[in-house]
Amino acid sequence: MPDIRPHYFIGVPIPEGIANPIYQAAKNEPVLTFQKWVHPLDYHITLIFLGAADETQIKKLEGSLAEIASEIDPFSIKFGKIDVFGDRRKPRVLHLEPKKNKTLDRLREHTKQAVLQAGFQVEKRPYHPHMTLARKWTGEDGFPAHVPFESGEVSMMAERFSLFQIHLNQSPKYEEIFKFQLS
Residues marked as catalytic: 44, 130
AA letter at 7: H
Give the containing element (helix H, strand E) for 97.
strand 93-98
Contacts of 175 (CB under 8 A, 6+ apart): 164, 165, 167
Pairing mode, if any, of strands 75-85 and 155-158?
antiparallel
Burial of 145 (0-12, 13-18, 19+ CB in 10 A): exposed
| Rounded Cα gap, residues 114 and 110, in angstroms | 6
| CA-wise closest residue to 137 among 93, 95, 97 | 93
Cβ burial 149-183 (10 Å sphere, 16+ → b, else e):
bebeebebebeebbbbbbeeeeeeebeeebebebe
